[in-house]
Amino acid sequence: MVRLEIHKMSKINELAKLLTEVLSEGKDIDSSEFPFINITGDINGKGILWTGQGYNKQFIFSSNPDRFFLSETLDLARGKSISINNIDVLSEKELGPTVTKSNLREVGHLKGLIVDGGFRVNQYLVYDANTDRLGLGTEEPKAALDIVDQNIEIVIGASDPNVGFIGTFNSTDLELGTDNTARITIQAGGNIVLGNPSQGDSKVTVLGKLGVNVSSIDPRSSLHVNGALKFNDKLHLSGNSEPTSGAFNEGDIVWNTDPRPGKFVGWVCTRAGNPGVWNGFGRIE
Amino acid sequence: MADKYITMNNIDNILSALGDELKGLAQQSAPNTKEIARKLPLRSLTGDHINGGTVQNFASTGIKDTATKPQLTIDDFGVHATRLTVENLENLTVSGTLKVKILEVDEIKADIKFEKDTPIVFSGDQLDGKGLLWAGSGHTKQFIFSSKPDRFFVSENIDFARGKSITVNNIKLIDENELGPTVTKSNLREVGQLNGLIVNGNVRIDQYIVYDSTTNRLGLGTEEPNAALSIVDSGVELVLGSKDSVKGFIGTYASHNLEIGTDNTARIIISASGNISLGNSKLAPVQVSVHGKLSVRVNTPDPEVDLHVNGAIKFNNRLQKYDKTYPISGSYNEGDIVWNITPKMNTYVGWVCIQTGAPGLWGPFGKIGNS
């Protein structure tokens, strides 16, 4: 119930009209509480109408579901906000802190971004929160970082807890390069090419000892080759006699693995053949 | 009759006289009512002499009855009037319904419950500013219609009950916990800790991480990544991706060295021009193992050998190469060996430099004989 006092009014035609005028023209209303207006009966569609200027402007109750319907945009005064249960949900500058869910597809320039959970960009960049893996061009990254480019999958991560790994995941070559040019190629089958056949000679320097097909490099040698070697297209191998089979070229040498005084230090192929003609050289004094 | 008018004071005398008169009249042929009345003293009748009947043209000091039909009835329930005109009513309490055609008041005080079964209508050509006002406590609170553009203007916060929401066209716009699904555009510059994030389109983070959705390339430190992943650090661009559909590529994009390392230390260094160092000159010598065959400048490695070198070799800083004879030009060191490329019986298997020079002094060694 509202206490309504109307002062110094000389002419009032009828009570309803009076009250309508009170509401519409703002006669003095001295109220200690908010006035309320009971709208009774079928309340659907009942409320406040503004008529006479274009279509009817409405602020009415509407049912199914129960709600207030406004025909116009709602404009709040500067600094005012919309709250639910007295908790701000929307103001001129911000959404309320309890509004945590959205389907926003555009945001402005964010000052920062913290994501708990998955992260997907354009169905291309995928961070899988379960595996803690980042994929570029793949939804199922096979390593901490997995890049799929033109169907080549490059993975970077750890192959076990003590070993880092950089390489291709599938049976494809990997090039390591500088100046956007391949310098080292690790082929799918494991062969390694140092240098690039399509480029000039690369100088490959071993700052240490190089072992070829040896499990333990002799510390006295800088180059330790397990088997035969060939240079200037001539073969150097070891044996306790000249070869009796196999194809050899003139100049190929077999070093004597059983040298004795009066014996030769090795044998040299003096005519190509199978095995060709071999002669001893360097008789040991 | 002493008095001309009948009053309550002389009514007994009047009635007594009237009785005598009636008695006399009864003995006469016909009573003369006028004579009887004349003989009654004025103001001599009392009300007790009257019961029933109708008094016409009645008047008293305070009452004048000129009605031709009943207008006022008084019984034990009160006063009933058909039509009442009152010049001045001091106090009136109405316990029932008061219906008034025209009510003119100087002041009205009421506790009003205003019930309507029709909408409240503001009508006319000037709707602007019309609506509900709450005045008297600070500034006037408003819920009004405002035009250009048409809108409702609200001067205060709007508070909805718990669980209620704001909808547009019956589609949820916002509630306590979420924005509606149709709200897809914003200019938010701060968001909370997201549970997940799906982006269609470009991503730029702090002008450092740039994902270009057109090229599907990710750049760290570059806005124009030159590969699927491009990392620019201290001016060096490291690219990871593929140049064709059969090879992956990891390396520098411009003319910069590439180090590949372990323990945060370079172990393999590829120079910008392509030279490769296995091991690091600033560190202790390392062991490089070739688990397989090693060939140097050979297009078709000999499968029978582990090391196949196209040209000369050098070990212990001594050169070894093949030729038809000892050198006649070039600089050589003592101990350098030239192997005889056409060895024959009774010739020598090679020549050894016995004095450094250009070409220095050379002597044959390893005379070839019969096995």
Quote the domain boundaries for residue B357.
296-371
The predicted structure's pLDDT at residue A273: 97
What is the H or E stretch that residue A16 is in? helix A15-25
Same domain, B300 and B371: yes
Confidence of residue A220 (pLDDT cuts 50, 70, 90): confident
Say what percent of chain A tops pLDDT 70: 86
Contact B308 A12 (CB under 8 A): no
Alpha carbons A277 and A266: distance in angstroms, whole number: 14
Confidence of residue A32 (pLDDT cuts 50, 70, 90): very low
Residue B136 lies in a domain: yes
Amino acid at A88: D
Residue B141 lies in a domain: yes
What are the tens digits of pLDDT across the range B61-92? 888 888 888 888 889 988 888 888 888 888 88
Identify all chain A residues contacting B251, using CB atoms and an 8 Å cutoff. Answer: 175-183
Compare CB distances from A111 to B190, B194, B311 and report the shortest one's residue: B190
Contact A154 B248 (CB under 8 A): yes
Compare CB distances from A74 to B152, B165, B195 and report the shortest one's residue: B152
Q: What is the mean pLDDT of residues A103-120?
A: 88
Which of B164, B216, B230 is the best residue to mutate to test the A interface, defined by the most A CB atoms within 10 Å of its own CB? B216
- Starting from the edge strand earliest in sequence, which strands make up the sheet with A81-84, in order? A87-91, A81-84, B158-160
pLDDT of A4 > 80? The answer is no
Alpha carbons A1 and A35: distance in angstroms, whole number: 8
What are the tens digits of pLDDT across the range A172-207? 999 999 999 999 999 999 999 999 989 988 899 999
Confidence of residue A36 (pLDDT cuts 50, 70, 90): low
Alpha carbons B234 and A252: distance in angstroms, whole number: 53
Mean pLDDT, chain A, integer:
85
Residue B155 lies in a domain: yes
Identify all chain A residues contacting B315, using CB atoms and an 8 Å cutoff. Answer: 222-223
Residue B343 lies in a domain: yes
Contact B152 A223 (CB under 8 A): no
Which positions ≥6 away from B177 have C-beta within 8 Å? Answer: A98, A99, A100, A101
Q: How large is the greatest C-alpha to C-alpha distance in chain A, in angstroms?
A: 152
Q: What is the mean pLDDT of residues B262-272?
A: 93
CA-nearest residue to A175 within chain B is B249
Compare CB distances from A204 to B181, B278, B291 and report the shortest one's residue: B278
Using the 8-state DSSP alphabet, how is residue A262 labeled?
Answer: T
Shortest distance between the Cα of A274 and any Cα of chain B, in A, equals 15
Which positions ≥6 away from A30 have C-beta within 8 Å? Answer: A3, A4, A5, B136
What are the tens digits of pLDDT across the range A47-100? 888 888 888 889 988 888 888 899 888 898 888 889 998 899 999 888 999 999
Q: pTM higher than 0.90 for the full model?
A: no
Q: What is the mean pLDDT of residues B105-122?
A: 69
CA-nearest residue to B297 within chain A is A201
B367 and B344 in contact (C-beta within 8 Å)? no
The predicted structure's pLDDT at residue A6: 42
Confidence of residue B28 (pLDDT cuts 50, 70, 90): low
Compare CB distances from B307 to A212, A242, A269 and report the shortest one's residue: A212
> Using alpha carbons only, what angle is made at residue A52 by residues A50 and A54, rounded to the nearest 5 degrees?
90
User: A220 or B324, which is more confident?
Assistant: B324
Same domain, B171 and B142: yes
Q: What is the mean pLDDT of residues B85-114?
A: 76
Identify all chain B residues contacting A137, using CB atoms and an 8 Å cutoff. Answer: 216, 228
Q: What is the mean pLDDT of residues B46-52?
A: 81
Shortest distance between the Cα of B165 and any Cα of chain A, in A, equals 8
Q: Is B272 on the interface with A (CB under 8 A)?
A: yes
- Tell me whether the omega of the peptide bond preceding residue B303 falls within 30 degrees of 0, making it cis: no
Residue B120 lies in a domain: no
Compare CB distances from A75 to B153, B308, B342 and report the shortest one's residue: B153
The predicted structure's pLDDT at residue A5: 43
Residue B198 lies in a domain: no
ipTM over 0.90? The verdict is: no
The predicted structure's pLDDT at residue B100: 79
Alpha carbons B357 and B11: distance in angstroms, whole number: 184
Residue B159 lies in a domain: yes
Identify all chain B residues contacting A2, using CB atoms and an 8 Å cutoff. Answer: 111-114
The predicted structure's pLDDT at residue A37: 62
Contact A124 B273 (CB under 8 A): no
pLDDT of B213 > 70? The answer is yes
The predicted structure's pLDDT at residue A169: 95
Amino acid at B20: D
CA-nearest residue to A177 within chain B is B251
Identify all chain A residues contacting B308, using CB atoms and an 8 Å cutoff. Answer: 229-231
The predicted structure's pLDDT at residue A30: 41
Which of A46, A110, A232 is the best residue to mutate to test the B interface, defined by the most B CB atoms within 10 Å of its own CB? A232
B221-249: b or e for each residue (b if 16 or more CB lie within 10 Å)? bbeebbbbbbbbeeeebbbbbbbeeebbb
Same domain, B305 and B333: yes
Alpha carbons A5 and A30: distance in angstroms, whole number: 6
Which positions ≥6 away from B135 have C-beta within 8 Å? Answer: A26, A28, A29, B141
CA distances in angstroms from A53 to B124, B149, B153, listed in the order given: 7, 13, 17
Of A102-111, A244-253, B263-272, minimum mean pLDDT range = A102-111
Confidence of residue B8 (pLDDT cuts 50, 70, 90): low
> Using alpha carbons only, what angle is made at residue B311 by residues B309 and B314, rounded to the nearest 5 degrees?
80
Identify all chain A residues contacting B94, using CB atoms and an 8 Å cutoff. Answer: none
The predicted structure's pLDDT at residue B254: 95
**Residue B83 burial by CB count (10 A; 0-12/13-18/19+): exposed, middle or buried?**
exposed
Confidence of residue B312 (pLDDT cuts 50, 70, 90): very high
Alpha carbons B272 and B274: distance in angstroms, whole number: 5
Which of B118, B164, B198, B259 is the best residue to mutate to test the A interface, defined by the most A CB atoms within 10 Å of its own CB? B198
Identify all chain B residues contacting A19, using CB atoms and an 8 Å cutoff. Answer: 112, 114
Same domain, B164 and B209: no
Same domain, B168 and B221: no
pLDDT of B42 > 60? The answer is yes
Confidence of residue B108 (pLDDT cuts 50, 70, 90): low
Nearest to A22 by CA among B108, B206, B166, B352: B108
Compare CB distances from B196 to A117, A172, A209 and report the shortest one's residue: A117
pLDDT of B350 > 50? The answer is yes
Domain termination site, one of B194, B218, B252: B252
Q: Which two tokens stand for residue A211?
A: 């072992």
Residue B97 lies in a domain: no
Domain count for chain B, please give it: 3
The predicted structure's pLDDT at residue A264: 93
